[in-house]
Structure formats: structure tokens, C-alpha cells
């Protein structure tokens, strides 16, 4: 989903959930899913710079 700190504050940040997050239902819109490479997703640390991403 898109990161938000309040009404009308969405920006270019996004988040990836590692497990179902039912508390987010109705508040955020799912716009993609990780189809391959969840092992890499689990290695991402706060502050890591993602230099490339492929959206298909």
C-alpha cells in the first residue's frame, strides 16, 4: 500500500507486508503483489536503498 501519515498525505513511499495484515483492510488499496523473490523481500532492512524494481 501507499504510505500515509494522515488524510491526504500519501506520497511515493510504499510498503510490502510479509503476512496478511487484516488491520489495513479498508484503509489501503493493494496495487501489486510480489510474484517472485520473497526471500529477497525478507532480507530488506530499514534504510536499505532499492536501486531497481520491475513492475509487470
Q: Which domain holds residue 21?
A: 13-50
| pLDDT (0 to 100) of residue 18 | 82
Answer whether residue 3 is part of any domain: no
| pLDDT (0 to 100) of residue 2 | 59
Answer whether residue 23 is part of any domain: yes
Neighbours of 4 (CB within 10 A): 14
* Per-residue cell: 17: 507486508
| pLDDT (0 to 100) of residue 11 | 64
Answer whether residue 56 is part of any domain: no
If one counts the domains in the chain, the total is 1
Question: pLDDT truncated to tens, each residue of the chain (56 aa)?
Answer: 656 666 766 566 778 888 888 998 888 878 888 888 889 889 999 889 888 878 77
Answer whether residue 46 is part of any domain: yes
- Buried b / exposed e across 21-50, counting CB within 10 Å, b at 16+? eeeeeeebeeeeeeeeeeeeeeeeeeeeee
1 within 8 A of 14, measured Cβ to Cβ: yes
| pLDDT (0 to 100) of residue 43 | 92
Answer whether residue 5 is part of any domain: no
Answer whether residue 55 is part of any domain: no
CA-angle at 14, arms to 3 and 46, nearest 5°: 95
| pLDDT (0 to 100) of residue 51 | 87
Q: What's the pTM value of the predicted model, to 2 decimals? A: 0.52
Amino acid at each position: 500500500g501507499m504510505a500515509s501519515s494522515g488524510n491526504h498525505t500519501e506520497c511515493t513511499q510504499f510498503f510490502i507486508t510479509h503476512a496478511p495484515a487484516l488491520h489495513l483492510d479498508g484503509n489501503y488499496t493493494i496495487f501489486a503483489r510480489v510474484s517472485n523473490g520473497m526471500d529477497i523481500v525478507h532480507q530488506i532492512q530499514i534504510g536499505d536503498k532499492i536501486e531497481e524494481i520491475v513492475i509487470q
